[in-house]
Structure 1
């Protein structure tokens, strides 16, 4: 899939966040209190004037009951087949990691698959908004090495390793090598209705 311009992505993200906030009947101040993201930052994101990082998007999404995937792609379903050329991709402006939403949308499936490429030496820390429900997910390393710290417990994953977790708190993804690491994140929950740590 071809990348959208940063301006287009920021505008679309802002529109989706604002629509989701309004559906929940939340003011900017209420969403800020719920997520720990400042009112000013939320306002800039909604206007398409800021390129939010994965850390910020996860907190906002979890505060609205939305996965990161739901924020990064159109709500329209794709049917049971998701062609690679049409899978939504997004690059985190802070860490440079590339995220691809692999799963077909709108099928009612309880599974979601995300493919991630994290650059050499990069690190990303994600944490849900306060009160977000526990998330069940698995991390499967496809190429390279990945260091994970899950709620204070560290795991060094090599190619082919798979870690299952019931995530209740912060998680840090770190690539200890010089080359990109590629991994899949498999989540179980209702499509587009759960907070997502998938990074």
Structure 2
């Protein structure tokens, strides 16, 4: 899947959305820093567009707002019931080069589809709170290999393999291969904003 996007414009729109979310709640920078675990100085830089947020940082901020990452990105870009590939919001993690494309049309539906591409050798870490508003999440590898580690358990996935996530834990996506790994994520948001997944049976 080819990806052409204006990275500077995407960062500017994301910065404005993050600030709007904070102001809509009447929070100060210090309030958000306390709730998210992200320093006040970093929050300020991100909101002013002076720093590009990493995937881990966005995970913490979206969790503080009670949003999934997909919800956050959907609010950055508008749209109708169909999102053409040229209209789908794309974001690049400045730290790892990870690409994230929101496939689902915005509009508040509980199911979200996300396409990801992780460069060779890259790792992306998400804190447990980033999954606290998700009822179910599954990942299927389209190309390459992917190691997803939840807590202390690593899952080695190859093309066609699918993993269903367990309860919220610190999670790392790692591409140990020599070529980019592409995968699809299906996310079902919890109806009441809390985690609703059953503890998996071992």
- Secondary structure of 2:178's partner? coil
* Residue correspondence of structure 1 range 8-47 to structure 2 within 5 A: 8-47=9-48
1:52 aligned residue = 53
- Secondary structure of 1:94's partner? coil
Of structures 1 and 2, the one scoring higher in RCO (CA 8 A, sep 6+) is 1
CA distance in 2, matches of 1:130, 1:33: 16
Contact 1:122 1:175 in 2 (8 A): yes
- Secondary structure of 1:52's partner? coil
* Residue correspondence of structure 1 range 188-199 to structure 2 within 5 A: 188-189=188-189
Residue 171 (structure 1) aligned with residue 158 (structure 2): no
Q: How many residues align?
A: 192
1:183 aligned residue = 183
Note the C-alpha offset of 1:135.
4.6
Give structure 1 stretches of 5+ with no counterpart.
none
- Range with bigger deviation, 132-141 or 151-160: 132-141
Give structure 2 stretches of 5+ with no counterpart.
196-202
CA distance in 2, matches of 1:168, 1:118: 22
Contact 1:117 1:181 in 2 (8 A): yes
CA RMSD of aligned residues (A): 2.3
Note the C-alpha offset of 1:22.
1.2
Q: TM-score, normalised by structure 1?
A: 0.87
Question: CA-to-partner distance for each residue in 1:138-194, whole Å, 9 max, x for gaps?
Answer: 010011110010122110011100001134121000001010000001000169x78
Contact 1:55 1:127 in 2 (8 A): yes
Note the C-alpha offset of 1:55.
0.8
Note the C-alpha offset of 1:129.
4.0
CA distance in 2, matches of 1:80, 1:131: 26
Q: 1:3 aligns with which of 5, 22, 38?
A: 5
